[in-house]
Structure 1
Amino acid sequence: MSADPVSVAGIDGPAALRDRALGALLGAFIGDALALGPHWYYDLDELRARYGPWITGYTAPMPDHYHAGMKAGESSQTGVLLRLTMESLAECGGYDEADFCRRMDEDFFPRLDGTPMQGPGGYTSQSIREAWRKRIRQGLPWGRVAGNADTTEAAERTLAIAVRYALDPAALADAVTRNTVLTQTDGTVVAMTVAFGAVLGMLVEGHKFDAAISAKLMARVKSGALPFHTVTAGNLQAPRPGAAEAPTAGRFPSPDALLTQSSIARAAHDPDVRIEPAWKVALVYGMPCAVYHQFPAAYYLAARFADDFESAVLHALNGGGQNLARTMLTGALVGAQVGLAGIPTRFVKGLVDHAALLALAGRIGPGRVL
């Protein structure tokens, strides 16, 4: 495992930085495709009856279930949107909101009809359906089409933005925020989405997912790089008497979305706190779709299996429920830690269109914003 970086290129050099970026992006696509078949089984007995006691690879959806008709190893609509975001980043050299919105209008929305069980990838999420209705049926401009869905939908596409801006946390937070609010308006959801991007960016840099990560994130808040408001001093200590607040308060009213990661990392390595087997993290944090279920479970698996991509994604997958988001987010976090070189070949080779996805990922590696 890498030590903490001492330069923007990472202590182990540009090649390792690139490997971590590729690992994060391919890890996300792998996680998405792994869960395509056994997605959204909240009855774990039904999941086991249909797919066996332990799913180990890509599977096709059942004909009466979500994503019916798709093949093992294909991307869901989540993966389609991640790819669209990456294509925009690659063509523009960074986040260009006008280009992203144009691609949504011209390349993506025409493939939808506003119903859940339709569109590329076999299912369209709530926030995307709402944006489609407001944009296409009502003719509202971008900036007025977002809804209050509490899911990880934006985090799943903006993880590409986090990888692109991993070396510039201020630009990362700004771009992730602006892209997220195109489809989701809830302040807590936006804060937690930006926090996830900030964590992923740190892992791409080469930082460890351990008990120290929240202190590092808070240092970036204090420096003004991350837009979270805080009045504490040092390691969440009371402010000095008479000390003034920062001259500019952050967009988000508290830094809480940056603090849970260290607690979860401690729990993942505390011998007195055991979730066995680890897939039951889905039962501990919850199986549904909301950010407050999904992010903690992904953080736990990323901390516990920091150097074991296969164990991380398979435990995320076999927990049932909204395992597509859980496995995709976990795949990105652990992929960033192990790098592309640490992802078993069978997961890469079994991913449909993996060569094109790898080539695309190679075009949006992290770089400083000048």
Structure 2
Amino acid sequence: MISKKDRAKGALMGAFIGEALGVGPHWYYDLEDMRAEYGDWIDDYTEPKADRYHGGLKAGEISQAGILLKMMAEHLIENDGYNQAAFCKMMDDDFLPKISGKAMAGPGGYTSQSMRHLWRARVKNELPWDQVAGNADTTEAIERNIAVAIFYAEDLEALSLNITENTALTQSDNLIGSLTVSYSSVLALLVQGEKLDPQISAKLMQAVDDGKLPFHKVTSANLNPPAGDNMVKESDLYGEGIFASPDGLLSPSYMARAAVDEDIKIEPAWKAAVVYGMPCAIYHMLPAVYYLAARFKDDFEAGVLHALNGGGQNQVRTMLTGALIGAQVGFPRIPERFIEGLQQKDELLSLTDKLVEKI
């Protein structure tokens, strides 16, 4: 039996490991170029080339996505949960002064689109926090909110409201919010002890019916038509739901079915990145992540390495896959070499233990 604390620790450390694994071979869209630089199979931390996105970092060092996740975990520990005003102050005081609105600069060697937009809006134009969200269609809110999903794993309603609020600070598209909450809810169920299998979406949909997740839903069980007006369950809190449809909650089961269907073959598994798409957009990232995390639910090493070797936006793919598999296998089953190879091993382990003690 894997304890909840081991699953939570596996999720957070799995995310840090996945993010650090991607520092070297990040954003190679020509797989032949990536293989020429790093060999036919990347199986460990690597140092980025000087002229690449994270040039100057060492093998096993986290970059900006990992730094922001670390800051979010510290915020949750200090505030005993998510506090929007305190989060904004932390960003104003501790992060935004370190970036400049330029891509190839800032902590981790590269600054993401949503953070560049945030800097221009908040620092250069001095806009209030409720006017700084941009239109990035990427996973940047998911990445930092991994810690929030772990913290609120037993309270899906608090998880969904806090993550929706935090996501809306930097990304204005409601669909991005929906998919961010969907991934976070999947991670929460895995921390609870569920598996990423074909039944997981039914459990998420039950949470919608129970008023715990703010998605609009009109179907009855198994996506059948409503059997009368009383079948539409809309809580007093959500009305028609913050999010227009629950489709983001349904996707994980389809990817999990593909992973176990003998008639569906993606070989080698890293080619899931080609099947679902190598670019950064959230709608490319999540299907590949769910597929790999379901296929390698018992094998952390195989899962993160196939996520990594698919190229493209492999850093995020590996980070998100690492969190989902880490939650399923638990921290003790993460290979020791991935822990030992982290540059900030002691600090990240201590931080993770402190967060886990809070849940």
Fold agreement, TM-score > 0.5: yes
Match of 1:361 in 2: 352
Answer yes or no: is 1:67 the counterpart of 2:64.
no
Match of 1:290 in 2: 281
The CA distance in 1 between the partners of 2:230 and 2:150, in whole Å, is: 36
Contact 1:60 1:72 (C-alpha < 8 Å) held by counterparts: yes
User: What secondary structure, in the 3-state scheme, does the structure 2 residue paired with 1:211 have?
Assistant: coil
Aligned ranges 1:104-115 → 2 under 5 Å: 104-115=91-102
User: What secondary structure, in the 3-state scheme, does the structure 1 residue paired with 2:162 have?
Assistant: helix
The CA distance in 2 between the partners of 1:133 and 1:180, in whole Å, is: 18
Contact 1:307 1:338 (C-alpha < 8 Å) held by counterparts: yes
User: What secondary structure, in the 3-state scheme, does the structure 2 residue paired with 1:215 have?
Assistant: helix
Aligned ranges 1:42-81 → 2 under 5 Å: 42-81=29-68
Contact 2:118 2:134 (C-alpha < 8 Å) held by counterparts: yes
Answer yes or no: is 1:329 the counterpart of 2:308.
no
Q: Which runs of 5+ in 1 are unaligned?
A: 3-11
Match of 1:9 in 2: none
* TM-score, structure 2 as length reference: 0.97
Q: Match for 1:310 among 282, 291, 301?
A: 301
* TM-score, structure 1 as length reference: 0.94
Answer yes or no: is 1:300 the counterpart of 2:287.
no
- 1:98 shift after superposition: 1.3
The CA distance in 1 between the partners of 2:107 and 2:39, in whole Å, is: 28
User: What secondary structure, in the 3-state scheme, does the structure 2 residue paired with 1:156 have?
Assistant: helix
Match of 1:151 in 2: 138
Match of 1:6 in 2: none
Contact 2:226 2:232 (C-alpha < 8 Å) held by counterparts: no
Q: Match for 1:122 among 82, 102, 109?
A: 109
Match of 2:79 in 1: 92
Task: Spell out, residue by residue over 1:278-325, the C-alpha distance to the aligned partner (whole angstroms, 9 max, x if none).
Answer: 000000000000000001100000000001000000000000000011
The CA distance in 1 between the partners of 2:201 and 2:37, in whole Å, is: 40
Answer yes or no: is 1:264 the counterpart of 2:255.
yes
Q: Match for 2:224 among 237, 244, 247?
A: 237
Contact 2:46 2:59 (C-alpha < 8 Å) held by counterparts: yes
- 1:164 shift after superposition: 0.1
- Percent identity over the alignment is 57
Q: Match for 1:39 among 26, 44, 47?
A: 26
Contact 1:163 1:366 (C-alpha < 8 Å) held by counterparts: no
The CA distance in 2 between the partners of 1:367 and 1:50, in whole Å, is: 42
Contact 1:165 1:366 (C-alpha < 8 Å) held by counterparts: no
Match of 1:222 in 2: 209
Task: Spell out, residue by residue over 1:133-162, the C-alpha distance to the aligned partner (whole angstroms, 9 max, x if none).
Answer: 000011111121110100000100001000
Match of 2:244 in 1: 253
Greater per-residue helix proportion: 2
Answer yes or no: is 1:165 the counterpart of 2:156.
no
Which letter does structure 2 place at the counterpart of 1:142?
W
Q: Which runs of 5+ in 2 are unaligned?
A: none
Which letter does structure 2 place at the counterpart of 1:84?
M
The CA distance in 1 between the partners of 2:335 and 2:197, in whole Å, is: 23
Answer yes or no: is 1:191 the counterpart of 2:182.
no
Which letter does structure 1 place at the counterpart of 2:141?
A
Task: Spell out, residue by residue over 1:239-266, the C-alpha distance to the aligned partner (whole angstroms, 9 max, x if none).
Answer: 0134363342210011000001111101
- 1:237 shift after superposition: 1.1
User: What secondary structure, in the 3-state scheme, does the structure 1 residue paired with 2:224 have?
Assistant: coil
Contact 1:166 1:366 (C-alpha < 8 Å) held by counterparts: no
Match of 1:7 in 2: none
Structure 1 residues 187 and 21, CA gap change in structure 2 (3 angstroms):
same
User: What secondary structure, in the 3-state scheme, does the structure 1 residue paired with 2:267 have?
Assistant: coil
Which letter does structure 2 place at the counterpart of 1:249?
E
Contact 1:21 1:366 (C-alpha < 8 Å) held by counterparts: no
Structure 1 residues 244 and 300, CA gap change in structure 2 (3 angstroms):
closer
* RMSD, matched Cα: 1.1
Match of 1:135 in 2: 122
- 1:103 shift after superposition: 1.0
- 1:355 shift after superposition: 1.3
